[in-house]
Amino acid sequence: MEQVIMNQLSYPILSTVIFLPVLGALLILITRRSWELLTKWIALGTSILTFIVSLTLFTDFDKSTHKMQFVEKHSWIPNWNINYYLGVDGISILFVLLSALTAILCVLISWNSIKAKVKEFYISILLTTSFMIGVFCSLDFFLFYLFWEAMLIPMFLIIGVWGGPNRIYAAIKFFLYTLVGSVLMLVGIIVLYLYAGKSFDILELMTKNYPYTMQLWLFWAFFAAFAVKVPMWPVHTWLPDAHTEAPTAGSVILAAILIKMGAYGFLRFSLPLFPEASKAMTPAMLTLSVIAIIYGAVICLAQTDLKRLIAYSSVSHMGFVTLGIFALNIQGLEGGILQMLNHGVVTGALFLSVGIVYDRTHSRQIADYGGLATVMPIYAAFFMVFTLASVGLPGTNGFIGEFLILLGGFAANKLAGVLACTGIIIGAGYMLWLYQKIFFMEINKKIIGLPDMDIRETITLVPLIVLVLWIGIYPNSFLSFMHASVQHLLERVNAGGVQEVNIAKTILEVVR
């Protein structure tokens, strides 16, 4: 069994981070419905507290080792060998932090825009946060699956209750799509459990070698769950609907954290559990990634809805992430992980920004805007930074991630790298087109006299601006978390070295 580093702190930090939001939710539950302000402050306070506690992870993390850290292990259901088993390594730690940060921003951005069922809304937000952090910390498959599915429920409610006009359709689509994938993964988990002698211990399962055919089957079973979440082409169509109909906070959670779980799943489970299958499936994965990059970018050119455009851009950006992951070299993997973080920051920020104008105009149509830079100059400046980060301009975080991914992708497969580069051109095209339509040109009559961002909204966006520039200018403070873990992961996967794969041949095979 693999060595882990038990939690050295005087308190169980991961449990604290996971269950603080639940505590906050309980507190909100017992407050009176009419005390909305108190409800909001409890939600804000809890999320800030969670974030502060989670900062300890950032400072106390030992970057020199790939081992799981801050580990907590308690027996839970001994009959089935199920444990309450938590820990983080260099791959997951950043997402714990990002989740905690996102919770604060979601509470802040919903402050005035959520007017109905306020109590329930903040409870949902806090519970989602808790479950998301749980997913990233779980080292026991049973616990992982529990969090993985539990997360769907509050998210389903957030979309279905507080969403836009077509929210029921979007919520059910989102739920069914992800559930179908997850159920296949459940089958995979049970197969692993039985094969490995009744163990749900992820670290223990990783040390075993599975027969190739079994790996192949399980790879696709897990793929079903993760690909839907990412979302990879062609199972991406839930994303635009869910994003468009969800309230701002819902879109932000979806964009920033939820769709990262798919990619995280590939990193945490698919690659180390099924290394041979992963390597064998690389051409297919690269093909799908490249299709997602180009397809997602091209489709953005034809959007008329602000949120839909950003949603489709997520498909393209997550294509970069999967490209990096399945490049199966260190640059690609680290770029992929960093790009997950970047995409969470940037797309989260874009959705927050859209929410800010949506609160004022109640319109998502691009045609309803124009000349906004004159009306809301500060807002325009913020949006510009995020646009540039999304386009991948050097000096912003988007560049670092995309550059590493493309470098890795190019090293793994030149054609994939070259094709992915075209996604960047189109990316610049649609983002600048969007920016021009909304902020430049003649002032649209519908937006005259809108107030610029207030303090609360500014506070919401400032941390993200800081992250955009911080990662862009000094990415090492984040990359350094990953080195040991990614190196270890690669050793596990690449026992035989990176293989050169011919993507064109694979496409031809698929066509035939």
Partner 1 sequence: MKLYLLIPFLPLTAFVINILLGKEVLRDKAHWPSILAVVGSFFITITSVLPQAMAGKVINEDLYTWMVSGTFNVTVGFLIDPLTAVMLVVVTTCASLIHIYAVGYMHGDKGYYRFFAYMSLFTFCMLMLVMGNNFMQLYFGWEGVGLCSYFLIGYYFNKKSAADAGKKAFIVNRFGDFGFGIGVFMIFLTFGTLHYAPVFANAAGITGQTVNFLGWNVDLPTLIALLLFCGAVGKSAQVPLHVWLPDAMEGPTPVSALIHAATMVTAGVFMVARCNPIFNLSEIAMNTVAIVGATTSLFTATIAITQNDIKRIIAYSTCSHLGLMFLACGVGAYAAGIFHLYTHAFFKALLFLAAGSVIHAVHTNDIQEMGGLKKYMPITYAVFVIAALSAGGVPGFSGFFSKDEIIWSAYASHSSVGKLVWLMGTAVAFFTPFYTFRLIFLTFHGKYRGGHPEEHGHSAHGSSHGSHQGEHHIHESPKVMTIPLILLAVGAVAAGWVGIPPILGGGAHFAEFLKPVVGHPEFHGTHAEEWGVMGLSTIIALSGIGLAAFFYLRKTDLPEKIAKQFSGIYNILYHKYYIDELYHYTIVKPTLWVADKVIVAITDARIIEGIVNGVPGAIGKFSGNLRKVQTGLAQHYGILMAAGAFFIIALVLLLR
By the criterion CB under 8 A, which residues form the site for partner 1?
Answer: 173, 176-177, 234, 236-238, 295, 298-303, 329-331, 334-335, 371, 373-374, 377, 381, 388, 393-395, 399-400, 403-404, 406-407, 410-411, 414-415, 417-418, 421-422, 424-426, 428-429, 432-433, 436, 439-443, 473-476, 479-480, 483, 487, 504
Coil, helix or strand for 82? Answer: strand
Q: How far is CA 304 from the centre of its chain?
A: 25
Tokens read off for 416: 């994939």
For partner 1, which is the closer residue by CB, 357 or 400?
400
Least distance between partner 1 and beta carbon 97 (Å)? 20
Least distance between partner 1 and beta carbon 202 (Å)? 25
Residue 198: Cβ-neighbour burial (10 angstroms; 0-12, 13-18, 19+): exposed
Least distance between partner 1 and beta carbon 440 (Å)? 4
Least distance between partner 1 and beta carbon 237 (Å)? 5
Phi, psi at residue 32, to the nearest 5°?
-75, 145
For partner 1, which is the closer residue by CB, 100 or 325?
325
Least distance between partner 1 and beta carbon 183 (Å)? 14
Coil, helix or strand for 75? Answer: strand
Tokens read off for 469: 């520039």
Beta bridge partners of 71: 6
Quote the Cα angle for 34-105-436, to 5°: 120
Distance CA 72, CA 8 (A): 10
Least distance between partner 1 and beta carbon 463 (Å)? 17
Indicate if the alpha-carbon torsion angle 111, 115, 118, 124 is positive or negative.
negative
For partner 1, which is the closer residue by CB, 352 or 388?
388
Least distance between partner 1 and beta carbon 302 (Å)? 4
For partner 1, which is the closer residue by CB, 146 or 172?
172
For partner 1, which is the closer residue by CB, 15 or 487?
487
Least distance between partner 1 and beta carbon 475 (Å)? 6
Q: Which of 49, 40, 239, 244 is nearest to 130 (CA)?
A: 49
Tokens read off for 428: 């610049």
Distance CA 67, CA 5 (A): 7
Please, where are the H alpha helices in 110-166?
Answer: 118-137, 141-150, 152-162
Distance CA 169, CA 332 (A): 37
For partner 1, which is the closer residue by CB, 150 or 421?
421
For partner 1, which is the closer residue by CB, 45 or 234?
234
For partner 1, which is the closer residue by CB, 137 or 254?
254
Please, where are the H alpha helices in 328-454?
Answer: 330-361, 372-375, 377-391, 397-412, 414-439
